[in-house]
Amino acid sequence: METKIIPVEEGNINKAAMREAGEIIKRGGLVAFPTETVYGLGGNALDESASEKIYHAKGRPSDNPLIVHICRMEDIYAIVREAPEPAMKLAEAFWPGPLTMILWKSDKIPYATTGGLDTVAVRMPGHKTALALIEAAGGYVAAPSANTSGKPSPTLAKYVAEDMDGRIDMILDGGEIEIGLESTIVDLTEKTPVILRPGYITKEMLENVIGHVETDKAILNNGTGQAPKAPGMKYKHYAPKGELTIISGSRGKVIEEINKRSREMRRRGEKTGIIGTDDTVDFYEADVIKSAGNREEEATIARALYRILREFDDEGVNVIYSESFEETAKTGGMGQAIMNRLLKAAGYHIEKA
Ligand code: TXA
Ligand code: MG
């Protein structure tokens, strides 16, 4: 299959391109598209065979459910059995935007889309291209991140192409993605709402709208062996090809420890890479040194993280050390989301300096 790549602009919707992309999805094909979080791989959420194609293109286990993307608030009623008040309050507060809600599904959504579950993940993305595509495609687009299963989610269309070229019908290239980490997922099927995946919309922001919210214990740890409730969170994920280790501790000790390890690995002939931050990169020694961004502005780190992990792959780096963002994780904001993804990328390999 030839994958057509079409450049698109959020501020200037190309109606003909949207019509063509929408037709592809209506006919059962797959189109990758930009959202505000990461690129998505879209297919018709109401069509079992389209969902199967998505799993196949990603090499994703079919028990890992897909998020159904909508473009109009009222469309939620068709795909859920009930729309509880907290859900509608959150939708009003954060949609269109980087929030996914888990609700009981209606019969309209096939089990192939929900990985066999009776619940469905729903999100209305905050990106004009995404909304136009969903509308052109009939209103219900199942879309996981547009990466091969296990790899970092794509924040640039070239990485979508790297993973999906020849496997899908079309890629809408909307340039670099704004947020860079996937949407916050909150489960509203329990008595107390539970965050299953941290993201741009934080616990605090949710609590301001609906009161007490819990966080799935499995999000920031590994050791307990507790299975996360979002099936996708249990898989090794976001991983670069090189072996990634996170080093935590005070700034000075971290720099010293990372340099020591990097020197030793280079002596053994390994190509080393380091993930630092704007105020530390000048102090490192390695083959490839990258800044994740500015610690005072977490959004810069969130936006860069997946791109950096992919760049290490491009540059053939086989041993990577990263600073830790534990402290950021405690201060709220996107720190928890950053640390959650970094830990998974490292297979939870974190050591103290
Ligand atoms: O930002 C995003 O959410 C992006 C863009 C493309 O919208 N999409 C995305 O989809 O990250 P995906 O498939 O890569 O991740 C969806 C996560 C998985 O961890 C999956 O297990 C979980 O959502 N999930 C989906 N449906 C669920 C359900 N019914 N119950 C629990 N977890 C669910
Ligand atoms: Mg994903």
What are the pLDDT tens digits along the chain (353 aa)? Answer: 999 999 999 999 999 999 999 999 999 999 999 999 999 999 999 999 999 999 999 998 888 999 999 999 999 999 999 999 999 999 999 999 999 999 999 999 999 999 999 999 999 999 999 999 999 999 999 999 999 999 999 999 999 999 999 999 999 999 999 999 999 999 999 999 999 999 999 999 999 999 999 999 887 665 455 667 777 666 567 788 999 999 999 999 999 999 999 999 999 999 999 999 999 999 999 999 999 999 989 999 999 999 999 999 999 999 999 999 876 656 668 888 999 999 999 998 999 99
Pairing of strands 67-69, 141-142: antiparallel
Cα of 265 vs centre of ligand 2, distance in Å, is: 31
Kindly report the protein residue whose alpha carbon is nearest to atom 33 of ligand 1: 230
Nearest ligand to the C-alpha of residue 117?
A: 1
Torsional sign, CA 332, 337, 338, 341: positive
Of all protein residues, whose CA lies closest to atom 31 belonging to ligand 1? Answer: 230
DSSP states of 305-344: HHHHHHHHHHTT--EEEEE--HHHHHT-TTHHHHHHHHHH
Count of other CB atoms within 10 angstroms of residue 285: 14
Ligand 1 interacting residues, C-beta cut-off 6 A: 35, 37-38, 40, 64-67, 100, 102, 114, 117, 119-121, 123, 125, 143-145, 182-183, 185, 196, 229-233
Atom of ligand 1 nearest to the CA of 233: 19
- Asked if residues 54 and 142 have their Cβ atoms less than 8 Å apart, the reply is yes
Q: Which ligand gives the minimal distance to the CA of 144? A: 1
Residue 225 confidence (pLDDT): 58
Best mutation site among 63, 81, 100 for ligand 1, i.e. most ligand atoms within 8 A of its Cβ? 100
C-alpha distances out from residue 60 to 104, 189, 268, Å:
23, 25, 35
User: 162 near 50, Cβ under 8 Å?
Assistant: no
Residue 46 DSSP code: T
What pLDDT score does 331 carry? Answer: 63
Atom of ligand 1 minimally distant from the CA of 40? 6
DSSP per residue, 215-284: E-GGGG-STT-PPPSSGGGGS--S--SSEEEEEES-HHHHHHHHHHHHHHHHHTT--EEEEE-TTTGGG-
What is the whole-number distance in angstroms between the Cα of residue 102 and the centre of ligand 1?
A: 9
Ligand nearest to the CA of 231: 1
Q: What is the DSSP string of 136-160?
A: HTTS-EE--BSS-TTSPPPSSHHHH
